[in-house]
């Protein structure tokens, strides 16, 4: 670890009927960072100090279901309708009703849609790994079932749909699960590490290697921290996020033609499998018409899915350059 645990202040923030744990550092306008799966506030450990040094309150939340935040049991408690309201509530509590949002993986759709649904509270929004995609005619889970499941191919989000199945696999050995899953979609994994030919009915971790040693961007101390968090929280809440595609589609479909007008930024990696999830679809190009305030869309060479952890210096340079525009406008 880089000492960030000794520098941040943890707060339990009431919002939307629950409490979320938020790590904070610095003073000034709120920059709120939202992690993805399977991560935690700690995924932003490299970003906290550079953002605070610009004169912001750098804040990183544990999304509901994770770490030190509340973990409601029902699947429907993890709809985007609820989680975007959580984030808007943190903007109220810590930012006086105003925040700049940065999200990675599931955190990216969370912050994109919080900016869409609460434009009066969100000054700007940056997404890492996952571009903004408004809801189409079919929900995402229906699209991937047609593209993968109906053709006998494994797709991890389909595997996640049955309650308890993925939980049992991942919780059987949390350390091995995190190491194998995180490595397989990192920029360090050779092509083919994530087996695209795996059949429907296979398990998530089947054929995923456990590297020895793990790439240097995730140290043993970092892994220890994540393992402790998931041994405490389990995986049900995180996996429930994937079980709400239908509800999310119904909720967000009426907003499909509404652009996100705030200043925005996208950062991805050239080796991130998310951007290759739908063959033949340029997800970054499709994003642009819906983001009239887009200030840049950068793909970092050789970087995989864990954008801000694999390439902290490059990500920090892009994020701080973008954030300086907000300071200049104050």
CATH number at residue 263: 3.40.50.1820
Structure tokens belonging to residue 124:
């700007």
Question: What pLDDT, on a 0 to 100 scale, did the predictor assign at position 324?
Answer: 96
Q: Is the pLDDT of residue 204 over 70?
A: yes
Q: Give a three-class secondary structure readout of 245-314.
A: HHHHHHHHHHHCCCCCCCCEEEEEECCCHHHHCCCCCCHHHHHHHHCCCEEEEEEECCCCCCHHHHCHHH
189's torsion region: left (phi>0), alpha (psi -120 to 50) or beta?
A: beta
**Structural domain count, the chain:** 1
Q: For CA atoms 67, 73, 77, 80, give the dihedral sign.
A: positive
Structure tokens belonging to residue 234:
């389990």
Q: Residue range 30-54: average pLDDT?
A: 98
Q: Against a cut of 0.75, is the pTM above it?
A: yes
pLDDT in tens, 120-137: 999 999 999 999 999 999
Question: What pLDDT, on a 0 to 100 scale, did the predictor assign at position 327?
Answer: 76
Residues 119, 293: contact at Cβ < 8 Å? no
Q: Is 305 a catalytic residue?
A: yes
Cα 75 from Cα 52, distance rounded (Å): 35
pLDDT-derived band at 277, boundaries 50, 70, 90: confident
Range of the domain at 149: 4-329
Which position among 70, 86, 105, 188 bears the catalytic label?
105
Question: What pLDDT, on a 0 to 100 scale, did the predictor assign at position 26?
Answer: 98
Question: What pLDDT, on a 0 to 100 scale, did the predictor assign at position 318?
Answer: 98
Q: Residue range 227-246: average pLDDT?
A: 98
Q: Is the pLDDT of residue 278 over 80?
A: no
Q: Is 255 a catalytic residue?
A: no
């Amino acid at each position: 670890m880089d000492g960030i645990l000794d520098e941040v202040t943890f707060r339990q923030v009431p919002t939307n009927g629950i409490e979320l744990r938020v790590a904070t550092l610095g003073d000034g306008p709120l920059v709120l960072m939202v992690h993805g799966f399977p991560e935690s506030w700690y995924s932003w450990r490299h970003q906290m100090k550079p953002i605070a040094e610009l004169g912001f309150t750098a804040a990183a939340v544990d999304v509901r279901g994770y770490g030190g935040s509340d973990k409601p049991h029902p699947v429907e408690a993890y709809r985007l309708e609820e989680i975007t309201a959580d984030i808007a509530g943190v903007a109220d509590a810590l930012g006086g009703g105003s925040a700049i949002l940065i999200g990675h993986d599931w955190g990216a759709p969370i912050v994109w849609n919080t900016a869409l649904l609460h434009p009066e509270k969100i000054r700007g929004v940056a997404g890492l790994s996952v571009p903004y995609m408004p809801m189409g005619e079919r929900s995402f889970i229906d699209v991937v079932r047609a593209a993968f499941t109906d053709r006998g191919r494994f797709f991890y989000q389909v595997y996640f749909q049955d309650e308890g199945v993925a939980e049992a696999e991942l919780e059987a050995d949390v350390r091995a699960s995190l190491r194998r899953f995180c490595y397989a979609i990192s920029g360090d994994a050779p092509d083919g590490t994530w087996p695209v030919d795996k059949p429907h009915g296979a398990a998530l971790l089947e054929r995923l290697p456990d590297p020895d040693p793990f790439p240097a961007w995730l140290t043993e101390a970092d892994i220890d921290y994540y393992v402790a968090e998931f041994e405490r929280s389990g995986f049900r809440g995180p996996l429930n996020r994937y079980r709400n595609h239908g509800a999310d589609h119904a909720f967000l479909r009426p907003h499909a033609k509404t652009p996100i007008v705030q200043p925005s930024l996208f950062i991805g990696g050239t080796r991130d499998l998310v951007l290759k999830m739908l063959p033949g679809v340029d997800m970054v190009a499709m994003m642009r018409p819906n983001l009239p305030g887009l200030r840049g869309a950068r793909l970092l060479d050789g970087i995989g899915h864990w954008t801000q952890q694999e390439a902290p210096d490059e990500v920090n340079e892009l994020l701080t350059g973008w954030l300086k525009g907000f300071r200049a406008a104050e």
